[in-house]
Amino acid sequence: MGCVPLRDGAYLLPERDHHAAAMEELAAQTNREGGQAWLLEVAARSREDEAAFVASFDRSADYAAFTGRLDEARKALSLRDPGEAGRALKRLRKDWDTLRRLDFFPNAASLSAQTAWADYEDAANALLSPGEPHAAQRAIARLSAANYQGRTWATRRHLWVDRVASAWLIRRFIDPNARFLWLDTPADCPQEALGFDFDGAAFTHIGDKVSFEVLLASFGLEEDPGLAHLGALVHALDVGGSANSEAAGFEAILSGARSRLPDDDALLKEMGAVLDSLHMHYGKKDS
């Protein structure tokens, strides 16, 4: 929870709504198990005391250590395969989220670390998924799948999480006769093709949604519980966030398949079977 020990058995924590509830539960559990715990409100009696309380939560050393890890990870990026780089990014993102959550009084150290984290995240994403789109800020129009049949769809080659899941979703739930083009660069996208998951594409990141989630919302598929769970998995692996228990396994399978298979058509076929199974699994969980 980020408490600062004052002495044995005495801990200090800034007053926040969620802190109070967590501490009340911890105290109740301690007392139920035969211990003794009290929650006390502490008020500083001077500006000096208040400054001392705040200073005790200084995370500058933690940010310095984290930034050092980022530097080492950045140097190793070019030597890692996409799967290894993805796992490193995931570990560091989890540590970053924890550090930010426990930083109750941000200062210059946190701002500096935030810049370093953004730089590393951009570099890692560039390795994992070159040309990763920037989120557009517009409304998501509701569309009819009947108007999108037998079309040519295009995205960047060397499929990764969002692109392979989106291609599966298109062929499985939107356009069963879809044809796919795997592009070297978005600029190669033909005018008549429906692009997805790159800047300027017909279907790409919008607001806080990744391309898979935008396709779900566009074609009214978000009410399917299996697809909603898959959307959470894709979102977490693509841009971060709380990942479900299957996310790490899916990422490992995709990394291995991408290294082993000769082209993106073969990759989509193999990962399509995995996504079919996950969709069935999630649907059973909510039935």
Could you state, in order of their start, the residue ranges of all structural domains in the chain? 4-55, 60-128, 145-285
Q: What is the pLDDT of residue 133?
A: 81
Instruction: Report residue 130's pLDDT band, with 50, 70 and 90 as the boundaries.
Output: low
Token reading at 168 = 């599966």
Cα–Cα distances in Å, from 261 out to 30, 253, 265? Answer: 54, 12, 9
Which residues does residue 136 pair with via DSSP β-bridges, in sequence order?
A: 206
Rounded-to-integer distance, Cα 162 and Cα 152, Å: 18
| Type of residue found at 57 | F
Q: What is the pLDDT of residue 21?
A: 87
Question: Averaged over 69-81, what is the pLDDT?
Answer: 83
Rounded-to-integer distance, Cα 69 and Cα 77, Å: 12
Mean pLDDT, all residues of the chain: 90
Per residue in 35-68, pLDDT (tens digit) is 999 999 889 899 999 999 999 999 999 999 999 9
Rounded-to-integer distance, Cα 38 and Cα 29, Å: 12
Q: Indicate the SS3 state at residue 113.
A: helix
Q: Indicate the SS3 state at residue 180.
A: strand
Rounded-to-integer distance, Cα 86 and Cα 84, Å: 5
Q: Torsions phi, psi of 179, nearest 5?
A: -110, 140
Q: What is the pLDDT of residue 118?
A: 84
Token reading at 150 = 């037998």
Q: Indicate the SS3 state at residue 182.
A: strand
Per residue in 197-250, pLDDT (tens digit) is 999 999 999 999 999 999 999 999 999 999 999 999 999 888 877 777 888 899
Instruction: Report residue 125's pLDDT band, with 50, 70 and 90 as the boundaries.
Output: confident
DSSP labels for 26-43? Answer: HHHHHHHTT---------
pLDDT at 287 > cutoff 60: no
| DSSP symbol at 79 | G
